Structure 1
Amino acid sequence: MELRQLLYFVTVVDSGSFSRGAVALDLAQPSLSRQIALLEADLGQRLLVRTGRGVNTTDAGEALLVHARAMLDISRRARDELREMDESPGGRIVVGMPPRVALGLSTPLIQRFREKFPRAVITVLEGLSVALRESLIAGRLDLALLFDPAPTPQLAFQPLMREKLWLVAPPKSKLPAKVGLSALANYPMVLPSAPNAIRHLLDSVLGPRQIQLQVLAEVGAVRTVLGLVATGVGCTILPESALGTAGDDPLPCAPIGPPSIWNALVLATPMARPATRLTRGTAQLLQELDFRHSYQA
């Protein structure tokens, strides 16, 4: 029984058929079938039964599957641990960020990453916090910066920064020193479209209080939202860090509250996957960045 054969077996089970398993392994199907047959002969048990829709595991196959996954996981951990013994580990790490965070933080992060890990490669993927959260859970990301993510036992969250939300109005608008929650219903709004962390935060705070906003338009990007506000289409609600993208002429704005509405930027890491030296080092780099002055929304 070889680790390679166990990998082939697990891949066929996860793929649901020999043909899809062969594609996933980049292996000819007859070769894959032969390796599974050799594994069955070595164990003296039938592991898989072909059906019209793919394959099913036998009782012996189900029993082996548990052990095979464990042995493959131990093998991967041993390989990663040995690789980490190198003073400068190689490999690749993928970090997810919302666009307005990536705009200001990608450059300092990549510069510091190259200094600390010259043999490794970093990829920064941009997306909405909701989509990044799902990608992190699915294993497509190693780390992610997220705004106000929904709690889940699959991820650990470390708070990095909190900001108050502000009402932003068209040029020459007169706003009070502060805008109470109930008063927000009096302003026509241009808001980010769902799924969006700011929109979800507003709904979670205003919904239970039965405060309904006058939404005139929904757009995806914060810069577009501010552009529409600047032309007088309506007001919007954004965190303070987002106001820096409004252009040379600042728009009238006022903090919301009392009570204030706060958004939170967190560093999210997967609970199930063991952290490598590269992952831990990148997480440390992210925590050391100056969030209040580096990123613009």
Structure 2
Amino acid sequence: MDYAAWKLFIDAAELGSLSKVALAYGTSQPHISRRIGELEQECGGRLFQRTGRGVALTELGQRIAPKVRGWLTSTEQLVNDVRTSAGTPIGKVRIGSLPSTAHPLVTSLHRRLAEQYPLVQLAVREGQGAQLETWLEDGSVDLAILFRTGPVPRDGDTYLVEAPTYLMSAAGDPLTSKPTVPFSALHDLPLVLFCRPSSWRDHLEQLAAERRMTLNVALEADSLRLQAHIVADGGAYALLGPHAIAGASKDYRLQSSRLIDPPITRHIALSMSRHGEMTLACRTVMQVIRDIAKSGAAVPALDDI
């Protein structure tokens, strides 16, 4: 297999544009198109369909992309292993992260790797839960830091930190003036919730249905900054964890009250992709993340909550 050709295939799939690939490679679009065409001839089928906005994977391309990503990763690691002494972590580790957990967890990870394992490179992509799950499934990332609602880890997940849920409002709102607020207070309350698909939103709506409550979704927004801005203007509320609220409270006048009766807790989990080889660099990053979580450095200051 031609490593360079398949690397080009993955780059085109991720960028979604042959002109962008050409710019990244410092060549012309016809040259990239010709290379893709040669690869399609070898495969015996079309890998991309051309659209008005660029290119998208065909069914064949979608089927083989995860395997190609895994092969590329293992090939890169093999080269690194040959170039370095045994037992030295080296190579790129791709991580998907929720925006709310990028700091301080991922920033602490970067600092520790730079100090202890300088040959390990991080590639961090931010996304919400559904997007992170997709990246794990198709092999776009090696690891993901995301929320889980189940009480017990599954499918190889590692639970890092338990996070309670808070009702966030504008400063001065009487509903959140006390340290806690009952879940029943959410009935018909105008809420800003994440867009579907969202396992977190599904979980909240299931809890509400069990209690014969109605969640009034006034606005759907995946952007935490937009949620905070809407809530700070008054008249709407959001349901977020301590990481998200600690970040939002730096830029907006907000106040929060922890949900009880029942308490709504989630777990920040470390999840692995099922594609590709678990390299030494990847195992090292996983261990450093666990150490950060145990030390408490993954939890933001909660003074404003």
Q: TM (normalized to structure 2)?
A: 0.65
% identical aligned pairs: 24
- Deviation digits for residues 97-121 of structure 1 (CA, Å, limit 9, x no counterpart): 0112114333222222223332332
Q: Distance in 1 between matches of 2:261 and 2:276?
A: 41
- Deviation digits for residues 242-270 of structure 1 (CA, Å, limit 9, x no counterpart): 22222367533222121111111100013
For the residue of structure 1 that corresponds to 2:182, the secondary structure is coil
For the residue of structure 1 that corresponds to 2:156, the secondary structure is strand
Structure 2 match to 1:160: 160
Deviation at 1:80? 7.3
8 Å CA contact 2:192–2:236 kept in 1: the answer is yes
Q: How does 1:86-235 map to 2 (within 5 A)?
A: 86-148=86-148, 155-175=155-175, 178-235=180-237
Structure 2 match to 1:253: 256
Q: Distance in 2 between matches of 1:247 and 1:78?
A: 41
Q: Distance in 2 between matches of 1:178 and 1:198?
A: 20
Cα distance change on mapping 1:76 and 1:224 into 2, 3 Å:
closer
For the residue of structure 2 that corresponds to 1:156, the secondary structure is coil
- Deviation digits for residues 168-221 of structure 1 (CA, Å, limit 9, x no counterpart): 222322125533222211422222323345423312322333321122222221
Which has the greater radius of gyration?
1
Q: How does 1:259-274 map to 2 (within 5 A)?
A: 259-271=262-274, 273-274=276-277
8 Å CA contact 2:98–2:129 kept in 1: the answer is yes
- Which segments of 5 or more consecutive residues in structure 1 lack a partner in the other structure? 9-21, 34-49, 55-68
Query: After the TM superposition, which of the residue ranges 255-264 and 88-97 deviates more from structure 2?
Result: 88-97
8 Å CA contact 1:98–1:146 kept in 2: the answer is yes
Q: Distance in 2 between matches of 1:97 and 1:231?
A: 28
Amino acid at match of 1:182: S
Q: Distance in 2 between matches of 1:85 and 1:237?
A: 49
Deviation at 1:154? 9.6
For the residue of structure 1 that corresponds to 2:161, the secondary structure is strand
Deviation at 1:24? 6.1
Amino acid at match of 2:96: G
Query: After the TM superposition, which of the residue ranges 195-204 and 128-137 deviates more from structure 2?
Result: 195-204
Q: Distance in 2 between matches of 1:272 and 1:201?
A: 28
Q: TM (normalized to structure 1)?
A: 0.67
8 Å CA contact 1:143–1:267 kept in 2: the answer is yes
Amino acid at match of 1:292: V
Amino acid at match of 1:284: Q
Structure 1 match to 2:298: 291
Aligned residues: 241
8 Å CA contact 1:169–1:253 kept in 2: the answer is yes
The match for 1:281 among 270, 278, 284 is 284
Query: After the TM superposition, which of the residue ranges 245-254 and 279-288 deviates more from structure 2?
Result: 245-254
Q: Distance in 2 between matches of 1:288 and 1:188?
A: 39
Cα distance change on mapping 1:85 and 1:271 into 2, 3 Å:
farther
The match for 1:240 among 239, 242, 257 is 242
Q: Distance in 2 between matches of 1:278 and 1:183?
A: 47
8 Å CA contact 2:190–2:237 kept in 1: the answer is yes
